[in-house]
Amino acid sequence: VTRSHNQAFPDLLDVAEALQRLLGHFAPLGVVEIPLNQIRGRVLAKDILARDDLPPFNNSAMDGFAVRTVDVLGASPEQPIVLNVVADIPAGLPVEVDLKAGQAARIMTGAVVPASADAVVPVEETDINQRQPGLKTPEAVQISKPVHPGAHIRLAGEDVRKGEVVLWAGQMIRPQEVGFLSALGIPKAPVHRKPRVAIFSSGDELIPVEETLQPGKIHDANSYTLTALVEHFGGEVINLEIVPDVPEAVRECLDRAYSEKVDLILSSAGVSVGALDFVRGVIEQDGQLDFWRVNMRPGKPLAFGDYRKIPFVGLPGNPVSAYVGFMVFVRPALLKMCGRRELSYPATRVELRESITSDGRETYLRSIVTKQEGILVARLTGHQGSGNLRSLVQANALLMIPSGVVSLPSGAQVDAWMLSSD
């Protein structure tokens, strides 16, 4: 590992410090009640208490026979004990069966176990090993071994006790939590409002994807990438499209974002020092702009500030820089507004399968991580120029090379951000 001199970039702001400063301007958004069929991916704003036991009553875990264990203590294959079947207990009905000595009830999975029974013997372990639908209740059943009390009974409250906290504020609702809430009889839950994000791309060279290329023009990539990213990380997009390099147009676009009452304005390009980078100037007139040169690669120039009190993030124009800038700075801000508590990207340790060099800034490299002989190994994808989207498309991970490191040999361990596959 070769390290650069500590003060290699004294004028650049550390990524961690820049992120901390930026996050200081965001807070979890207000609370809304959302029905279960729309709640996946949302973040709970309050703890959830169970209103009932789960399961709500003792029920059978098997199709079989509800018995009193005292009746079958002496059962054996040679001398099975015969019980009289006095009732049939289907799922879904209250039970009114009171088993007396020598009696059993046929019972279905999920049906209420009568208080007089203390075990269920599965059909497979009796002489009535049949379960075609509609089979009539047998008169008797043979049990050929003893059963222990509680066998194949799911006890009321064994999963969840009434009054317990079962889900916590800050927790994101996955499909399994949706079903859990439903099982608990909770049809809607309090979550944080979705962040509304206005997105625009700046640059005279940009045309929308539907238009045919003209000399000097390129198709806008960033507003599409950023829209998809914002939605992926829980936000809602107000698409302000492409803004030409004209101050009045930039102002008009920012005012539209303002009137939409968005929670964040997100732009790409037009914030660096080029002669036609007007976004910066317009924002400075009606807000404040912290223009940061962040100690990272790609994505060094990052503008952060507010326009008429709405937070503004200006990402670099190069498509890979915009993507990396989003992942490092905007993703955590979105998660924070959504109410998540853990904002850092989960990192995985991987082993380099080629040597790499860096200029000493915190570097994000596009990489393919695969498992070989049980370990995760990483190679770089294609040309790493920050304008080359293809190398990002080929990647399934970003490798994070800490600041101060200028080279690493093949075999070194680094942190990888595995990129989700959807």
Residues that bind ligand AMP in the complex, under the rule CB under 6 A: 201, 203, 205-206, 218, 220-223, 268-270, 272, 274, 316-319
The candidate with the shortest Cα–Cα distance to 318, out of 398, 387, 267, is: 387
**Residue 319: contacted member of ligand AMP, Mg ion, none (CB under 5 to 8 Å, by partner type):** ligand AMP
206 binds, among Mg ion, ligand AMP, none (CB under 5 to 8 A by kind): ligand AMP
Tokens of 148: 């222990």
8 Å CB contact between 417 and 12: no
Residue nearest to Mg ion (CB): 203
Which bin fits 119, alpha (ψ -120 to 50), beta or left (φ > 0)? beta
Sign, CA torsion 384/388/389/390: negative
Question: Among Mg ion, ligand AMP, none, what binds residue 201 when CB lies within 5 to 8 Å by partner kind?
Answer: ligand AMP
CA distance 350 to 361: 20
Nearest to 233, CA basis, from 89, 159, 332: 332
| Binds 401: which of ligand AMP, Mg ion, none (CB < 5-8 Å by kind) | none
With CB under 5 to 8 Å by kind, the binding choice for 325 among Mg ion, ligand AMP, none is: none
Amino acid sitting at position 109:
T
> How many residues line the site for Mg ion (CB under 5 A)?
2
Q: Which is nearer to ligand AMP, 114 or 203 (CB)?
A: 203
Quote the least distance from Cβ 315 to ligand AMP, whole Å.
9
Closer CB to ligand AMP, 27 or 275, in the complex = 275
Closest to 112 (Cα-Cα) out of 98, 129, 127, 133: 98
Single out the segment in contact with Mg ion by CB under 5 A; choices: 32-40, 262-270, 307-315, 401-409.
262-270
Least distance between Mg ion and beta carbon 229 (Å): 20
- Which stretch in 36-44, 202-210, 283-291, 401-409 sits in contact with Mg ion by CB under 5 A? 202-210
Task: Kindly tell me which residue out of 123, 156, 269, 282 binds Mg ion, with binding defined by CB under 5 A.
Answer: 269
Least distance in Å: CB of 221 to ligand AMP? Answer: 4
Shortest Cβ distance from residue 357 to ligand AMP (Å)?
A: 24
- β 48-49/59-60 pair status: unpaired
* Residue whose CB is nearest to ligand AMP in the complex, by number: 317
Contact between 25 and 336 under an 8 Å Cβ cutoff? The reply is no
User: Is the Cβ of residue 58 or residue 222 nearer to ligand AMP in the bound state?
Assistant: 222
Question: Closer CB to ligand AMP, residue 62 or residue 266?
Answer: 266
Nearest CA among 304, 224, 229 for reference residue 264:
304
**Closer to Mg ion by Cβ: residue 242 or 398:** 242
Say whether residue 316 binds Mg ion (CB under 5 A).
no
Looking at 64, 203, 234, 319, which residue binds Mg ion (CB under 5 A)? 203
Pick between residue 97 and residue 313 the one whose CB is nearest to ligand AMP.
Answer: 313
Q: Give the other-Cβ count within 10 Å of 136's Cβ.
A: 7
Nearest to 56 by CA among 148, 160, 189: 160
**Pick from 152, 261, 267, 258: which is nearest to 202 by CA?**
267
Structure tokens given for 421: 């596959």
Cα–Cα distance, 379 to 391 (Å, whole number): 12
Positions in the binding site for Mg ion (CB under 5 A): 203, 269
